[in-house]
């Protein structure tokens, strides 16, 4: 048998020579039988009706009509009066309470330790006292009338004032005496000399609370504090503005600061 060898499939293909027109490779299509109308295309299923899209939304994301939501109200409980506590219990079961916030950490609960406030301690060393030494004409006239001093003791024509600070363990008031080796801290031996002042007339002493007191150890003419004569050995606490009269005309005024 004559033919050609196919390199692709590896078989020899024979060729027949026939006279006349070549036969078709496909069989002829037979006519349909009577009564057969052929296959019909199934109808598409109807799609669900959707609301029309607004014209302004074309070309953008779809905009669907919003569904109105009902306003929250009380739970409808048929057969249970609203003023009873059962409705509140049902509502609490249906609507759970919001979750509680987490508890803070242990380290944030305790405040940072701080030193307790300390009360200020009063400083006694900062309190200062001074005395003003001067002449008192009213006191002089009163002493002249009460004790009948001699006409030789006259009130000084020229007076002066001195301010002395109270310091130390004591402040002695008197007149210095070289024979007795006595030099008081408040020396009244300067001019004009008051003849009614004793060598050691009075003594001022400090107290632990910062105040000062006066004592008369036994003067000849006595000591007055605010117009009252104190007894010998009596200790009187002094205050701001107190007046100490002694001698014939001397006045010592106490000042704080």
* Whether residue 60 has pLDDT greater than 90: no
Per DSSP bridges, beta strands 186-187 and 200-206 are: unpaired
b (16+ CB within 10 A) / e for 8-39: eeeeeeeeeeeeeeeeeeeeeeeeeeeeeeee
Distance, in Å, from the CA atom of 45 to the CA atom of 43, rounded to the nearest integer, reads 6
Average pLDDT over residues 179-202: 91
Q: What is the mean pLDDT of the chain?
A: 75
Average pLDDT over residues 140-169: 84
Locate 165 and state its tokens.
């600070």
Distance, in Å, from the CA atom of 247 to the CA atom of 133, rounded to the nearest integer, reads 12
pTM: 0.51
Distance, in Å, from the CA atom of 8 to the CA atom of 123, rounded to the nearest integer, reads 124
Residue 229: partners with Cβ closer than 8 Å, 6 or more residues away:
222, 223
* Whether residue 221 has pLDDT greater than 80: yes
Percent of the chain residues past pLDDT 90, beyond the cut: 37
Please state which of the ranges 110-119, 156-165, 201-210, 212-221 shows the lowest mean pLDDT: 110-119
Is omega for the bond preceding 192 within 30 degrees of 0, making it cis? yes
Question: Shortest CA distance to 133 belongs to which of 58, 204, 76, 82?
Answer: 204
Q: What are the tens digits of pLDDT across the range 117-137?
A: 555 444 445 689 999 999 999
* Whether residue 252 has pLDDT greater than 50: yes
CA 195 to chain centroid, in Å, comes to: 66
Domain 126-151+158-256 has CATH 3.40.50.880: no
pLDDT value of position 72: 56
């Amino acid at each position: 048998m004559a033919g050609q060898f196919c390199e692709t499939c590896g078989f020899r293909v024979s060729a027949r020579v026939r006279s006349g027109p070549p036969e078709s490779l496909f069989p002829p299509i037979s006519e349909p039988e009577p009564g057969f109308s052929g296959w019909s295309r199934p109808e598409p299923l109807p799609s669900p009706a959707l609301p029309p899209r607004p014209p302004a939304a074309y070309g953008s994301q779809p905009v669907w009509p919003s569904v109105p939501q009902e306003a929250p109200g009380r739970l409808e409980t048929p057969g249970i009066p609203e003023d009873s506590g059962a409705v509140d219990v049902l509502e609490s079961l249906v609507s759970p309470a919001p979750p509680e916030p987490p508890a803070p950490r242990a380290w944030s609960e305790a405040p940072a330790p701080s030193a307790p406030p300390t009360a200020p301690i009063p400083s006694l060393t900062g309190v200062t006292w001074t005395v003003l030494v001067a002449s008192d004409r009213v006191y002089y006239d009163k002493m002249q009338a009460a004790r009948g001093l001699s006409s030789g003791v006259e009130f000084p024509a020229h007076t002066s004032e001195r301010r002395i600070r109270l310091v130390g363990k004591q402040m002695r008031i008197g007149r210095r005496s070289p024979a007795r080796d006595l030099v008081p801290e408040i020396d009244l031996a300067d001019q004009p000399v008051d003849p009614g002042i004793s060598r050691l007339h009075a003594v001022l002493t400090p107290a632990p609370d910062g105040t000062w007191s006066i004592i008369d150890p036994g003067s000849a003419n006595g000591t007055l504090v605010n117009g009252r004569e104190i007894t010998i050995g009596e200790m009187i606490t002094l205050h701001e503005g107190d007046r100490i009269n002694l001698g014939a005309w001397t006045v010592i005024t106490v000042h704080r600061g």
